[in-house]
Amino acid sequence: MHRLLCLLACLFPILASAESGRAGDEHSYAEPDKVRISNLGLALVLDFDSRTLRGHADLQLDWRDEDHRRLWLDTRDLEIERVLGKRRGSGWYKLDWKLEAADPILGAKLAIDMRRQYETVRIRYRTSPGASGLQWLEPAMTRGGKLPFMFSQSQAIHARSWVPLQDTPAVRYTYTARVRSDPEIMVLMSADNAPGEPRDGDYVFRMSQPIPSYLMAIAAGDLVFGAISERAGVWSEPATLDEALAEFSDTEKMIQVAESLYGPYRWERYDLLILPPSFPFGGMENPRLSFITPTVIVGDKSLVALIAHELAHSWSGNLVTNASWKDIWLNEGFTNYVEGRITEAVFEPETAKMEIVINETSLRDELKEVPASRQSLVLPPLTGLDPDEALTDVAYVKGHWFLRFLEGRFGREIFDPFLRSWFDRKAFESVSSEDFIAYLNVELLPKKPDAVSQDELREWLYGPGIPKGAPSTRSERLDAADKQRQRWLKGRTPAAELDTGGWVTQQWLHFLDGMPKQLDGEQMVELDSAFKFTGTPNGEIAMRWYPLAVRSGYFEAQPAIAAFLERIGRRKLIMPIYTALAETAEGRKFAREVFARARAGYHPITIGSVEAVLAEPTPSGD
């Protein structure tokens, strides 16, 4: 194998060489080449009154350097009470530790010094009420309105705000947890949640497969379970359960399709947890328990590609994980590709094509604002950048596009086994772009040596923008939406007479995406009268219509805009609206008033994003 790698390095020089300075994770204080957490044992008390978790974390350590005598951990706003060490057959010993000054992005390093290498380190601690990875909701902020709700969001580097640990995707560990709470509250984790688990205020969890820290999750509230299949189901508030089960009834079919393409599902159960609308993301792929926004429950399954995406992470991301956030395309680009294959098989090819076109249109628009240095798949170190804000659709969409490019050049009969072998051979590992490039050299490129040129690969992996040879995708349904939009814009057909019967969500999104940046008042009134966009329950439509309304001075939509921003906390849906409002002094004033009312229901990640947008001056210098 070594001789083969050397030969391929000569054949494929650009791909065989790693980019200098990319090794390691710049977003963690951990030293995984010296020592790694192998297992985490949590014992926590969940307290809604103080909005804290308190207890201890037992870190079982795998020492990689026999001379090393320190442990550096990541923390953010944690109150550390005591640090103890234990060796096999001995008791607990007090260890010297220091919580260093906090970095605004990384948090504070917990430096633990020891005279000998302890097998287990125990840290007693308490979280902050404002922990960036936890959101605490009053009963009034839930659908049921009776019990409070709490959930975590550990990606990208927020696990350190509720557990002291090596908060890097380069380190994988198993974990156990015992969580005590009010007996009325159901507690779940990204672990072995039993569908029939009783509410008794004392819950025990085990995650036997090694995961990175960003996939550790916890949630608590008035939660009940409904089965989709023997291994899949839904957890949600009681009032949401039936509609969620109906919307996501194809989940088992999705699992079976993914298994047929990429190998067995290795996480035992696949359940969905439907969170309150304040959840800042569409979904989070926590193993065994994907967190899902309720904004995709629209009654016609038109947005369930999100479920295909989170499920796809069970192979790309959870099973094979990017070793640092500068390689997130290995998670998200691969997942977008697998999502498309699942959607194509479970629904129809046209549905997958519509998603591709919409995503690629969004990427082209976003690239106008993204610096060229961050438009490549293989990114330089993100030093000084918060990974929450630094990552773009490049990882998701350009990464997906690159894999479709390879699929097209090699054919599915070659590419599908290649991708499956990547998941099989790298299972439960954390990998870099260089690892994938080396695997590409050995396992795919020799199958058709003339299929792809070195210049093409270099352009995809290291170049900005979209390569010239990128495959194009067309959708007949979206072409139809284009024609109807043009007929209306050219004054040929009134909005009420456009042929929109039977349109699905994606056609409406494309219809709005192609509109000019702003319309005149009469045009806005005509569209709204014909299609009732203002007040739509579909968040994907709202995130396109409301910015257009703001830019067009359509003040009639302001009450609905305010209601939407106060009800929804998903960043994808609300940030375009806040951004449009921030373009003028009057709009920013309105946005700040709405934000003041909505803030209590937003996740800390969302709050930071909105504050950043509203703090920026307008182009006029206001």
Burial of residue 373 (number of CB atoms within 10 Å: 0-12, 13-18, 19+): exposed
- Strand-pair partners of 234: 226, 272
* Distance (Å, whole) CA 131 – CA 43: 18
* Distance (Å, whole) CA 64 – CA 364: 45
What secondary structure does DSSP assign to 362-388, as a single string? HHHHHHTTS-GGGSSSSPPP-TTS-HH
The SS3 assignment for 300 reads coil
Q: Would you say 108 and 100 are in contact if contact means Cβ atoms under 8 Å apart?
A: yes
Backbone dihedral region for residue 163 (phi beyond 0: left; psi -120 to 50: alpha; all else: beta):
beta
Which residue pairs from 299-304 have beta carbons closer than 8 angstroms and sit at least 24 positions apart in sequence? 299/243, 299/247, 300/504, 300/505, 301/247, 301/250, 302/504, 302/505, 302/506, 303/505, 303/540, 304/247, 304/248, 304/250
Known catalytic membership, residue 310: yes
Extract the runs of DSSP E, i.e. beta strands, from 213-355.
218-221, 224-227, 232-236, 270-274, 283-284, 289-292, 320-322
Q: Exactly one of 337, 396, 546, 554 is catalytic; name it.
A: 396
- 114 backbone dihedrals φ, ψ, rounded to 5°: -145, 150
Tokens of 55: 């207890």
- 125 backbone dihedrals φ, ψ, rounded to 5°: -160, 175
What secondary structure does DSSP assign to 480-533, as a single string? HHHHHHHHHHTTSS-GGGS--TT--HHHHHHHHHTS-S---HHHHHHHHHHH--
Closest among 381, 502, 362, 363 to 433, alpha carbons compared: 381
Q: Would you say 475 and 354 are in contact if contact means Cβ atoms under 8 Å apart?
A: yes
* Distance (Å, whole) CA 27 – CA 34: 17
* Distance (Å, whole) CA 190 – CA 272: 11
DSSP 8-state assignment for residue 18: P
Q: Would you say 443 and 418 are in contact if contact means Cβ atoms under 8 Å apart?
A: yes
Per-residue b or e along 558-568, where b marks 16 or more CB atoms closer than 10 Å to that residue's CB: bebbbebbbeb
DSSP 8-state assignment for residue 397: I
Q: Which helix (H) or strand (E) holds 548?
A: helix 539-551
Q: Exactly one of 26, 237, 285, 310 is catalytic; name it.
A: 310
* Distance (Å, whole) CA 511 – CA 484: 8
Known catalytic membership, residue 125: no
Q: Would you say 613 and 578 are in contact if contact means Cβ atoms under 8 Å apart?
A: yes
- Strand-pair partners of 125: 55, 80
* Distance (Å, whole) CA 285 – CA 283: 7
What secondary structure does DSSP assign to 551-597, as a single string? HTT-GGGHHHHHHHHHH---HHHHHHHHHHHTTSHHHHHHHHHHHHH
Active site residues: 310, 396
